[in-house]
């Protein structure tokens, strides 16, 4: 009985070994043919590719899109979009930013682009964005000329901050007040006295007055302060340096009550509380 049992065990063990060797051989053959082995799931290629893309996105979020795109070397400018421009063309804005279709990732750095845009005299504020797919967005706010002052290269536009900034075309000059200043600021620099004079002059239409054709500022210590001239009138209107809004109101009232006398005057001094002093060509002084 014992001999028979031991013989049976050996026979079963040998059968198991032969079966294992046969399975191993079958696995090797299947692997060579590309067939999946039993118990092993083969991942379809599209699923594998989607997983790779997801991994790339995760890696990109971890190391930063800048580093990933730079390492890939595949991002190029495909389109430049300009927003906020009115006077400058889109091409002029792109040239100011020094960016063009076909440029690489580094050339489209938003900080570099915004810095280049701010070098343009017409651009007051600028920002830039670099988008997936090769789109670059340039956003600008242009300066608005509200007065004009003579410069070495021609008439310079002056913005509301009292800053001379760029030479204007003749068509842009004709409707703007002429600014005369004893000490004009250099181009690109704002001036608070000029800004205040421009603010006062631009308030004239709200009082029913024409926009001044000339704005003059003497030296800072000059007691006459702001002097303006109105279209169609030869008089100098001396506004002074203080209470300018109240003096605009005085001028509006004077023109409404005594327009003929104002039209004949060579000078109207509004620096005195409650009255305006008119000086004519023949009668040197008068009051209203």
pLDDT-based confidence at 11, cuts 50/70/90?
low
φ/ψ bin of 76: left (φ > 0), alpha (ψ from -120 to 50), beta (otherwise): beta
105-163 pLDDT, tens digit per residue, is 999 999 999 999 999 999 999 999 999 999 999 999 999 999 999 988 899 999 999 99
What torsion, rounded to 10 degrees, do the Cα atoms 201, 202, 204, 207 define?
-150
Look at 94 and 16; give whichever has higher pLDDT. 94
| Beta bridge partner(s), residue 150 | 155
**Other CB atoms closer than 10 Å to residue 81's CB: what's the count?**
13
- Say what the pTM is: 0.68
224-245 pLDDT, tens digit per residue, is 999 999 999 999 999 999 999 9
Average pLDDT over residues 33-48: 50
Distance CA 87, CA 140 (A): 11
Q: Name the burial class of residue 41, with classes exposed (0-12), middle (13-18) and buried (19+) by CB atoms within 10 angstroms of its CB.
A: exposed
**Other CB atoms closer than 10 Å to residue 61's CB: what's the count?**
10
Helix 110-118 vs helix 90-97: angle between axes, to the nearest 10 degrees? Answer: 110
pLDDT surpasses 80 at 2: no
166-187 pLDDT, tens digit per residue, is 999 988 898 899 999 988 899 9
The answer to whether 66 touches 60, Cβ cutoff 8 Å, is: no
């Amino acid at each position: 009985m014992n001999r028979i049992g031991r013989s049976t065990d050996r026979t079963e063990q040998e059968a198991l070994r032969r079966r294992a060797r046969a399975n191993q051989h079958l696995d090797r053959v299947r692997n060579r043919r590309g067939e999946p082995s039993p118990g092993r799931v083969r991942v379809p290629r599209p699923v594998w590719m989607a997983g790779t893309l997801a991994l790339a996105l995760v890696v990109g979020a971890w190391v930063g899109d800048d580093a990933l795109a730079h390492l890939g070397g595949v991002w190029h400018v495909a389109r430049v979009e300009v927003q906020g421009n009115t006077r400058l063309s889109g091409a002029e804005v792109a040239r100011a930013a020094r960016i063009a279709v076909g440029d690489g990732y580094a050339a489209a750095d938003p900080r570099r682009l915004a810095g280049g845009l701010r070098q343009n005299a017409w651009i007051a504020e600028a920002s830039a964005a670099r988008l997936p797919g090769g789109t670059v967005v340039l956003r600008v706010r242009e300066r608005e000329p509200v007065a004009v002052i003579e410069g070495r290269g021609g008439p310079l536009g002056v913005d509301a901050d009292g800053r001379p900034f760029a030479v204007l075309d003749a068509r842009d000059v004709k409707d703007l007040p002429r600014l005369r200043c004893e000490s004009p600021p250099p181009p690109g620099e704002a001036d608070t006295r000029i800004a205040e004079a421009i603010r006062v002059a631009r308030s004239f239409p709200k009082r029913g007055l024409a926009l001044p054709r000339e704005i003059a500022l003497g030296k800072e210590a000059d007691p006459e302060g702001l002097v303006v001239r109105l279209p169609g009138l030869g008089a100098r209107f001396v506004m002074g340096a203080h209470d300018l809004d109240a003096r605009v109101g005085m001028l509006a009232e004077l023109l409404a009550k005594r327009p003929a006398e104002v039209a004949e005057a060579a000078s109207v001094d509004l620096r005195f509380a409650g009255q305006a002093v008119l000086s004519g060509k023949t009668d040197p002084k008068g009051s209203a």
